[in-house]
Structure 1
Amino acid sequence: MEVEGNPIRVQSIVQDGKMGVPPQYVQPPATRAQHNSKKISSSNDYDALTPPVIDLSNANIVIEQLGLACREWGAFHVINHGVPIRLLDDLRSVGRSFFEDCSMDQKLSYSCDANSPASEGYGSRMLVASNDTVLDWRDYFDHHTLPLSRRNPPRWPHFSPNYREVVAEYSDQMKLLAQRLLGLISESLSLPSSCIKEVVGELYQNITISYYPPCPQPELTLGLQAHSDMGAITLLIQDDVGGLEIFKDGEWIFVNPLSDAIFVILADQTEIITNGKYKSSQHRAITNASNARISVATFHDPAKTRKIHPVFKPPKYHEVMYQDYVSSWYTKGPEGKRNIDSLLLN
């Protein structure tokens, strides 16, 4: 299906009033979201299978709490994180405005290259067409934001007058928080605070605003297939609809949105660097029949030429050039954690 030479966007399917899900979006039964996924309270109770909420202003216990969260979950909320709450709200607002207030022609004028994975712009496919099995029920806008040499605001929407300024400010704030968290993660392993940052090197940052339209048959689809992120650390915010799930102890756990919090997801390179002491978090997005959902993921990755290796001995993972890891991820597809597992030493 094409729209003026562009692959069709999921939002167009909904706007056309289709009552069923096109077959290319139907997940096989084994990967569909089950109705018994646990929806949880927002309390910070490990026994209730709730992702931890860590107050970064509590210097006395933050290292201990963070270490426990990294060992047990690979993901956690942070509050009092230093990023203005106004900025979180502004980014959600301009993102929603792009998807809901702009015409399809306006959005398509910012289309990404459908034949190149991770290209900047407006798209729907996670992988290039030749690697797709089942499509995700989402549209997105991906921004290349760091290093500054990659930042090209004219490639970003301008339909909200402050869109580009909001994205640039958000990028700068997320970098500071990512660097701070990598330092704290290092300290929680009794390493120098600079350790993980030095292995990762200069941060390459992408900001992806994902839009999940209402789905007429949510039991058949996923908004985003199960995967672990390929880079070092991901910082995510949701709107109040919610749809993020993380995999823990053999089941999928619903992550209730906390509007003032930022959800931290450890990615595969951090698992390698910590020699598996901290695991990257497998996660996915589910759909619903009534409400569109917005989430914003800010990815922090090494340079493609960076070699990533464990800092503990004996190593449990092969050293890997990040470019090779990315190529494998996009060639094989994410499918849970099979890419990181392929690096395990026998």
Structure 2
Amino acid sequence: MSSPVATAVSAAAPYDRAKALKEFDETRVGVKGLVDSGIKAVPPIFVHPPETLAELKRGSESESAPEIPTVDLAAMQESRAAVVEQVRQAASTVGFFQVINHGVPEQVLRRTLAAVKAFHEQPAEARVPVYRREVGKVSYLSNVDLFQSKAASWRDTIQMRMGPIAVDHSEIPEVCREEVVEWDKEVVRVSRVLYELLSEGLGLGAERFREMGLGEGRVMVGHYYPFCPQPDLTVGLNSHADPGALTVLLQDHIGGLQVETPQGWIHVKPQPQALVINIGDFLQIISNETYKSAHHRVLANHCNEARVSIAVFLNPSDRERLFGPLPELTSTKKPALYRNFTLHEFMIRFSKKELDGKSLTNFFRQ
């Protein structure tokens, strides 16, 4: 006769990850809902594999570690060529840099972060109606790759398409509507300047990227990283490379963003009023690998205060046009490293993978 303990063990249902994911998603209140419930331990769906956690521990923690470059756009008044060179150097090495004196008023930066934070910190019943996974609409969700990733990340997101055809502004939650629309205008202005500098850094005309419409497709995401009770077991955002051309990021003072460099993982330390800029896979490809996209990640938030960041992903607007390494940047000495593709094919490929690795650039390599 079996013992009561053995019977209980054999009767215990095995852990059903698919069921747990579905149940979490159906709460429609995200990670913030878990935190509000008073949870003291990270649920199994958020626990990352040992190899991922080991890699996190190898990240640079030294205060003397190198930092990503900072570019002062006001210096263009004295020497535009010097600023072009700074941008070119950053884009062709680490693929990340911060810009200061970009012309966005400090109160706009503060107001935008506060508005996105206010959305995520509304009562659950105010967030639930916006929770959805449909592409193209205003959507509040937890983990865009929730059902594809090996483990979920400790964050929630509101995402909005801002171009080439923006979502109806009435669909943007009122608590952040005015600020989101205003922020999109600022990003358009700043990105025009950045694209000119990046284009000149390749020896092209200042208008080359603008003529390609590289800033017309825009998706804005407002990430919210609440306090994590066990930050050593999960991440805020998996290591990944952005698929688009350029990303403009506004982050608050909490920190946690890291970028992979030849020297190892380094912190992207928050600077007051700075914007973080990074090269995406698309720009790496059309520059024929002169510019580099980089792996980056966000650590789980161990602070009692939530971390907020707002990224705008910039892409071409024409999804059927053929793109590839620009002819001006290829030669017999440096042939095209990638094949041509449409943006539609490019983004379909991205949507089929989880947020890790650099399979996009690998997939299109010749």
Normalised TM-score (structure 2)? 0.85
Deviations 1:289-340 (A, max 9, x none): 3331101101111233232211121211111111111111111223221211
Work out which of the two has the higher radius of gyration on C-alpha atoms and give 1 or 2.
Answer: 2
Instruction: Output the amino acid matched with 1:51.
Output: I
Match of 2:173 in 1: 157
Whether 1:94 and 2:115 are equivalent positions in the alignment is yes
Shift of 1:197: 2.8
Partner of 2:57: 35
Q: Which residue of 2 aligns with 1:121?
A: 139
User: In the superposition, relative to structure 1, how do residues 309 and 25 fare at CA in structure 2: closer, same or farther (>3 Å)?
Assistant: same
What residue is the counterpart of 2:286 in the other structure?
A: 273
The number of residues matched between the two structures is 332
Describe how 1:29-68 pairs up with structure 2 within 5 A: 29-32=50-53, 34-39=56-61, 48-59=65-76, 60=79, 61-68=82-89
SS at match of 1:289: coil
The correspondence for 2:309, drawn from 250, 272, 295, is 295
Alignment counterpart, residue 305 of structure 1, candidates 308, 315, 320: 320
Give unmatched runs, 5+ long, in structure 2: 1-19
Q: Report deviation, 1:93.
A: 0.8
Give distance in 2, aligned partners of 1:260 and 1:201: 25
Measure, in 2, the Cα distance between the counterparts of 1:23 and 1:344: 37
Query: SS of the counterpart of 2:33?
Result: helix
Q: Secondary structure at the match of 1:144?
A: strand
Q: Distance in 2 between matches of 1:67 and 1:198?
A: 20
Residue 266 of structure 2 aligns to a residue whose secondary structure is: strand
Cα distance in 2, alignment partners of residues 118 and 270 from structure 1? 23
Q: Give 1:65 deviation, angstroms.
A: 0.8
CA-to-aligned-CA distance 1:215-260 (integer Å, 9 cap, x gap): 1111111111111111110000111111111111162111111120
Instruction: Please tell me the residue identity of whatever aligns with 1:293.
Output: R
Instruction: Give every structure 1 segment of 4 or more consecutive aligned residues whose post-TM-superposition deviation is greater than 3 Å.
Output: 1-8, 116-119, 199-202
TM-score (norm 1): 0.90
Q: Partner of 1:73: helix, strand, or coil? A: coil
Cα distance change, pair 201–339 in 1 and its aligned pair in 2 (3 A): closer
- Asked if 2 retains the 8 angstrom alpha-carbon contact of 1:71 and 1:278, the reply is yes
Superposition RMSD in Å: 2.0
Identity %: 30
Partner of 2:8: none
Given that 2:32 and 2:226 are in contact with CA atoms closer than 8 Å, whether structure 1 keeps it comes out as yes
Give secondary structure in 2 for the equivalent of 1:276.
coil
Instruction: Name the counterpart of 2:350.
Output: 329
Deviation at 1:128, TM superposition (A): 6.0
Secondary structure of the residue that 2:235 maps to in structure 1?
coil
Q: How does 1:1-346 map to 2 (within 5 A)?
A: 2=23, 5-32=26-53, 34-39=56-61, 48-59=65-76, 60=79, 61-100=82-121, 102-113=122-133, 116-117=134-135, 119-127=137-145, 129=147, 131-147=148-164, 149-158=165-174, 160=175, 163-201=176-214, 203-249=216-262, 251-291=264-304, 292-303=306-317, 304-311=319-326, 312-313=329-330, 314-345=335-366
Separation in 1, partners of 2:219, 2:162: 6
Task: Report if the CA contact (8 A) 1:121-1:155 is conserved.
Answer: no
1:8-61 CA distances to partner (integer Å, 9 max, x unpaired)?
5111111112221111111112222533422466xxxxx952100100111212
Runs (5+) with no aligned partner, structure 1: 42-46
- Mapped to 2, the partners of 1:128 and 1:325 lie a distance apart of 21
Q: Determine if contact 1:117/1:330 at 8 Å carries over to the other structure.
A: no
Task: State the distance in 2 between where 1:117 and 1:40 align.
Answer: 40
Q: 1:40·1:254 contact (CA, 8 Å) conserved in 2?
A: no
Which deviates the most, 1-10 or 233-242? 1-10
Aligned AA (1:35): K
Tell which deviates more after alignment, 192-201 or 132-141. Answer: 192-201
Q: CA deviation at 1:72?
A: 1.5
Q: Give the partner amino acid of 2:325.
A: P
Amino acid at match of 1:15: D
Distance (whole Å) between structure 1 residues aligned to residue 117 and residue 267 of structure 2:
22
**Comparing 1-10 with 239-248, which one deviates more in the overlay?**
1-10
SS at match of 1:218: coil
The code of the aligned residue for 1:212 comes to Y
